[in-house]
Structure 1
Amino acid sequence: MSSRPSAFDILMSNALSASKKSPSSFSYRKKCGRAADRITAAHEGLELGIGDASIIKALAEAFGRTEALVKNQFKEKGDLGLVAQTSRSSQSMMRKPDPLTVAKVFYAFRLIAKESGKDSQEKKRNCIKSLLVAATDCEPQYLTCLLQDTIFPALLKDGMWDIPKTCCFTLGVRIEPMLTKPTKGVGEIVNKFPDIKFVCDYKYDRERAQVHYMDNDSVEIYSWDAEQNTEEFPDVVAAVARLKKSHVKSFVLDCAWQKTSQNVDVKDIKVDVCTFTFDVLYLNGQPLILEQLNVHKEWPHDSFEEEPRFFQFAVTLKSNDIEEIQKFLDAAVSASCEDYMDNIGDTFDLVPFAAFHGHGKWTGVYGAFLLACYDCNNEEFQSICKIGSGFSEAKLEELSASLHSRVIPKPKPSYVFGETLDPDVWFEPSEVCEVKAADLTISPCSSCNSWGHGSC
């Protein structure tokens, strides 16, 4: 379904109808969870861990087909759900299977998510096969979509009227950060919100996190990806416990500290990290997120002692003066704060040298392109980014058609790209795209600069 409003209307109607019929039923709660692409809350860290390759193999085994045939159909249709549906409709059954229920499917999904260790992928596939074999009518299509996590959040556990009761701030459970929108300059913000006082923070090039301090003095640290990583930062745990003021019994901090390399053993940590605190989201049993921002931004200073190199307050400005805000932004740029750029200033001339097949509505054309810049010194095409948005349908079809005749069997020796990039096709360099970008960030998978990282 390509229309977002239509999809939303259908899901909303279903949610309202189901909540009126059985608002407290087990099945309804699980429907809500799966519609939101979750089998547990995010902070529990339980994921299905199923990729397209495993689903393709399970489809082949469940419906008596070869993996090559399933892959070819996936390439043609662009949707594994449609492949599953076609496979089921063309397969005869000696006995009609017992019907699937919401509870049965949800239980199977939890088993899949909990499988780990030796032969875990095979056990997951067997569980998927049992579901597919029992599926009838349109069920194979939507089971496959659920396994791929392609059905998006739309339903709520107890209906919209009980949101304040059920969706409350709970200490020890990470809350989602609010999404931000990049802007081209201070003037653009002031024009959108005239006569408003702004709160401005430095955005440190560090790892953002939430620190939850409980009434029993235990501490939980969550990354922005909802990962619980308390054990990696014993120095942070010690610092917040030592520097909180005596009247503080429990809290949640929105903070950041310098990024560390992945897979670092705790015993190898030699240097304490400095925690930069932006905000207190919860204090002594009271959530503060509904308070005015300029009010609860004072809570860090009222609740903690600052200690240089261990625990510091983020550099902050409160102002409605455009010149003062601009000076603050300039200072942040000079201090090398993350993601702050005055402007890129020009477009990039980049060469499409690989592409990925499109799925869904983009079946039959390339859905994304891998772009490269040319290094004259080394005579190399170095990957800089993957681009898949900003094209009209007509332009995407035109570009796909023009590049189709330029496909080569493998990348040239002069192509430099990250090991994790695995395009479906490679091209002979033949066209140049003028690309306009909003900003630049460090990429672990592109390779267009001298120290081994790229921009994308």
Structure 2
Amino acid sequence: MKKRASSSSVSPIKNKRVKTQSEQPRIDHFFGSPSKVKAGAASSGSPQFIEGSSSSKGVSSKNASSQMEVIDVDALELDQTPPPASNPLKQRAELDVEPPKSLVISSAAHSENRLLSTDFLPLDSVPIDYDPDAQPSNTPLAPYSLLTHALVSLSETRSRIAIINILTNLLRTIISKHPSSLLPAVYLLSNSLGPQFIPIELGLGSSIISHSIQQISGLTSAALKRMYNTSGDPGDVAFAAKSNVRTLIPHSPLTVPYVYESLLKISRCKGQGAGKAKQKIVDKLLLAASGEEVRYLTRTLCQNLRVGAVRTSILTALARAFVLATPGHNTAVEPNIAKPLDTENITEEYKKAEGLIKQVYVKHPSYDQIIPALLEKGLDSLAERVPLAVGIPLLPMLGSPTRSLDEIYDRLRDNQFSAEFKYDGQRAQIHASRTPSGIPAVKIFSRHLEDMTSKYPDVIGLLELVFATSDNLSSFILDAEIVAIDPTTGEIQPFQKLAGRARKDVNIRDVQVAVCVYAFDLMYLNEKPLLERTFRERRDLLRSTFSPRKAPQEDSNLAYFDFVESCESEEGKSSIEEFLLKAVEQRCEGLMVKLLDSVPADETSAKRNSRTKSLPSTYEPDVRTSGWLKLKRDYIDGMSDSLDVIPIGAWHGNGRKAQWWSPVLLALWNPETGRPVALCKCMSGFSDVFYTAMRAKYSLDSDFCSKQPVWECDLGGFKPDVYFKPHEVWELRGADITESPVSVAALGMASSTRGLSLRFPRFIRVREDKSIETASSPSFLVDIWKNQQGKKTSLGGKDEGELLDAEIEESDLELSESDDFGGAD
């Protein structure tokens, strides 16, 4: 099934003379009121004339010439050549990031004819049969039209095989012909400007982009609004608007490094005059863009490419591209390093390379180091050249959900394990190393790798104290939960207390909520990685290296430090049951059960239960293994786990809810397609305060709500009254999971004709600690569904798509705004 053809455009709008800024009405949603820009802001120079195309609804050349508008080209700095002393890599340095060695950018204007996206050969062929040298581009820097050509191809398919082939052939072409463009190309494909742990944000408001489209097209804001209401996509509007424009002054063709460099410049615009500076760069990009470049450049500026290139697909394609990068293809890889291609075992070569790159990425998720290493020596010894490193967060290990203690004992059999409190706080990955000056360098990362170091100056002070009192400690990476506590008694406080702290640039004197760092794992110690060691070994090193600092203490400005409270399986099942009750009494979410020693696969266990062929106790980044099992207090009754879902739409409420959105359509995140997939409606668990806040956030005048399906989502049989922009995660719990003819979540995974849905869903809280990419997936839902089979309650049965509009219980109305927050998983 193909998507809407990306080349479709909105019908041309009859050209009108541009009105003055004061005459332009406000445009809803994306096209907001443009900011005022002073005319002639730069020195005068040769004017650029833009006139309506003679094909636009029969406009005569005489009338067209009367509609000419003047744009000051010099004010837009159309020359892409920077001053000789400039270095775009300094943009990384200003963000406190070492610039990647492979990104050597020269923005000199090209003199050859411009290549359009339609000039390139197809990219969807089988990679083994694809010849990158046949592509017409022969410049040192990859033309942006080549990347656009790939994006057009990606937008026309939903087939994962086709997506992988397109990406593989694109990356192989860049490796072969434009190696210095590989890093910026990968970031542009990823719809990002850098690694997750580097806070780089475009910070572009809709008014800047809409004003630029008006500037280059000569159309009024009213005309742009009509076009937007028709298409619902800013990229389509920009494409249609500029298709009616021809320029009398040619522009240098855009290159991939130049576009990426320009986006970095936008992210660096701060302080007074930042809006005008950003406007200038956007104007320059859109003026130089041509054809489909306009569409995808605009989508990039809006940070919504609307193609199915997700992280897994990009890593897979990158691996396959380097497998195919042989000496005969003029690759950047050193000829004496690259090996002859074994076409007979190409599938095995692909699998090996994919496993290697994904293994490296989960331990070191930064293309800034991975891609230069690949370009230098290919896939050989990549893991040794890009290792686990202090200061670069690894993707966290995750726990598999279980329903009961009986299930835990059944999975782990007679092997020893440790049960730990699952605290309701914020998961933190703490990196620290001793500098030559003696002051430790500390970084604190969230569950999804965001840098939150400036949020916890009290934790930084604690670690400085640790280094000051430990002569044998040089570096470490530990996994922990930061929890709010009572500084007098040390008692654990609710997560809402922690959520009340400021989020960045906190002064230690302003800290009002005391916290304790509960450490539960150690992944790196004194320049040695510990991931391959058993949990028993890692825990022993953790407890022998660090000492608890419990409340109360004289220095109340510093955070406290302790190890997670635990209970060993040797103490007996009754002790574990009592420990679970104790965890609930102390405001914990439940238990984390961790295997102490790895159990290798054996023939007997493999025959008895395929799910337990092996039981690892090593630290496995970004993996849910049987070595870590989680048992939440909510698991004991009802569904075996809560779900992290994404609100993507809603209906108009009835009765007393008429002023609000109710019910709300919720979705899972499908990592295979890179978009949300509808799961169920929900109208239970919301307070009146939450309903009011939600209606204000998702108003039709906002950028988060639309009457048209603007954002890419798989809706199945659901047809909401309004559509929400997928951008936040809610926690949801229900009675059980059932098959549904309306939902398309997990379609084909549990049933060939039906998806899965949730019966009697109930909202728990907003998960501000999660991004939509970390929401629950269809495969996670299927795992829960399989676990509940044979354990149906009287509420069982098939979901026919109807929703009971149950009255809100009194307890629901007592919820306050603090329920909008949630802890780490």
Q: TM-score range by the shorter chain?
A: 0.7 to 0.9
- Paired with 1:29 and 1:98, the residues of 2 have a C-alpha distance of 22
Q: Which residue of the partner structure matches residue 335 of structure 1?
A: 586
Which one has the largest radius of gyration? 2
Q: Given the superposition, is the C-alpha separation of residues 300 and 439 from structure 1 closer, same or farther in structure 2, using an over 3 Å criterion?
A: farther
Distance apart, 1:302 and its partner CA: 2.0
Q: Given the superposition, is the C-alpha separation of residues 413 and 178 from structure 1 closer, same or farther in structure 2, using an over 3 Å criterion?
A: closer
Q: Given the superposition, is the C-alpha separation of residues 33 and 305 from structure 1 closer, same or farther in structure 2, using an over 3 Å criterion?
A: same
> In the TM superposition, what are the counterparts of 1:305-384 in structure 2 within 5 Å?
305-309=547-551, 310-316=560-566, 328-338=579-589, 340-343=632-635, 368-369=649-650
Q: Given the superposition, is the C-alpha separation of residues 235 and 92 from structure 1 closer, same or farther in structure 2, using an over 3 Å criterion?
A: closer
- Paired with 1:228 and 1:183, the residues of 2 have a C-alpha distance of 31
Q: Which residue of the partner structure matches residue 392 of structure 2?
A: 173
Q: Given the superposition, is the C-alpha separation of residues 166 and 40 from structure 1 closer, same or farther in structure 2, using an over 3 Å criterion?
A: farther
Gaps of 5+ in 2: 1-154, 319-370, 485-497, 552-559, 591-631, 640-646, 670-676, 682-687, 708-719, 722-756, 769-811
- Paired with 2:522 and 2:541, the residues of 1 have a C-alpha distance of 6
* Alignment match of 2:445 (pick from 210, 223, 244): 223
Q: Which residue of the partner structure matches residue 240 of structure 1?
A: 463
TM-score (norm 2): 0.43
Work out which structure has the larger RCO, using CA pairs closer than 8 Å and 6 or more positions apart in sequence. Answer: 1
Partner letter of residue 388 of structure 2? F
* Alignment match of 1:441 (pick from 765, 770, 786): 765
- Paired with 2:531 and 2:387, the residues of 1 have a C-alpha distance of 11
Given that residues 373 and 383 in structure 1 are in contact (C-alpha distance below 8 angstroms), is that contact kept between their aligned partners in structure 2?
no
Provide the aligned length of Structure 1 versus Structure 2.
410
Cα deviation per residue 1:236-290 (whole Å; 9 max; x = unaligned)?
2333344465422211222222225226543222665321112122110112234
* Alignment match of 1:252 (pick from 477, 497, 500): 477
Distance apart, 1:110 and its partner CA: 0.9
- Paired with 1:122 and 1:66, the residues of 2 have a C-alpha distance of 20
Using the aligned pairs only, state the percent identity. Answer: 23
Distance apart, 1:129 and its partner CA: 1.7
Are positions 1:289 and 2:511 aligned together? no
> In the TM superposition, what are the counterparts of 1:404-415 in structure 2 within 5 Å?
none
- Paired with 2:186 and 2:536, the residues of 1 have a C-alpha distance of 36
Distance apart, 1:118 and its partner CA: 1.9
- Paired with 1:148 and 1:200, the residues of 2 have a C-alpha distance of 46
Distance apart, 1:335 and its partner CA: 2.8
**Secondary structure of 1:235's partner?**
helix
Given that residues 216 and 286 in structure 2 are in contact (C-alpha distance below 8 angstroms), is that contact kept between their aligned partners in structure 1?
yes
Are positions 1:387 and 2:665 aligned together? yes
- Paired with 1:374 and 1:336, the residues of 2 have a C-alpha distance of 37
* Alignment match of 1:18 (pick from 156, 171, 174): 174
Given that residues 458 and 508 in structure 2 are in contact (C-alpha distance below 8 angstroms), is that contact kept between their aligned partners in structure 1?
no
Distance apart, 1:101 and its partner CA: 0.9
Are positions 1:40 and 2:194 aligned together? yes
Distance apart, 1:128 and its partner CA: 1.2
- Paired with 1:194 and 1:78, the residues of 2 have a C-alpha distance of 55
**Secondary structure of 1:85's partner?**
helix
Q: Given the superposition, is the C-alpha separation of residues 265 and 248 from structure 1 closer, same or farther in structure 2, using an over 3 Å criterion?
A: closer
Partner letter of residue 277 of structure 1? A
TM-score (norm 1): 0.74
Q: Given the superposition, is the C-alpha separation of residues 450 and 441 from structure 1 closer, same or farther in structure 2, using an over 3 Å criterion?
A: closer
- Paired with 1:161 and 1:65, the residues of 2 have a C-alpha distance of 51
Gaps of 5+ in 1: 348-355, 357-366, 400-411
> In the TM superposition, what are the counterparts of 1:62-141 in structure 2 within 5 Å?
62-141=216-295
**Secondary structure of 2:588's partner?**
coil
- Paired with 2:550 and 2:396, the residues of 1 have a C-alpha distance of 27
* Alignment match of 1:49 (pick from 203, 217, 221): 203
Q: Which residue of the partner structure matches residue 692 of structure 2?
A: 416
- Paired with 1:275 and 1:373, the residues of 2 have a C-alpha distance of 46
- Paired with 1:415 and 1:441, the residues of 2 have a C-alpha distance of 13
Q: Given the superposition, is the C-alpha separation of residues 441 and 212 from structure 1 closer, same or farther in structure 2, using an over 3 Å criterion?
A: same
Q: Given the superposition, is the C-alpha separation of residues 38 and 380 from structure 1 closer, same or farther in structure 2, using an over 3 Å criterion?
A: closer
146-155 vs 80-89, which moves further: 146-155
Distance apart, 1:168 and its partner CA: 2.2
Partner letter of residue 440 of structure 2? S
- Paired with 1:440 and 1:50, the residues of 2 have a C-alpha distance of 33
Given that residues 27 and 102 in structure 1 are in contact (C-alpha distance below 8 angstroms), is that contact kept between their aligned partners in structure 2?
yes
- Paired with 1:92 and 1:167, the residues of 2 have a C-alpha distance of 48
Distance apart, 1:312 and its partner CA: 0.5
* Alignment match of 1:261 (pick from 483, 486, 501): 501
Given that residues 174 and 181 in structure 2 are in contact (C-alpha distance below 8 angstroms), is that contact kept between their aligned partners in structure 1?
no
- Paired with 1:66 and 1:182, the residues of 2 have a C-alpha distance of 55
- Paired with 2:693 and 2:170, the residues of 1 have a C-alpha distance of 46
Partner letter of residue 33 of structure 1? Y
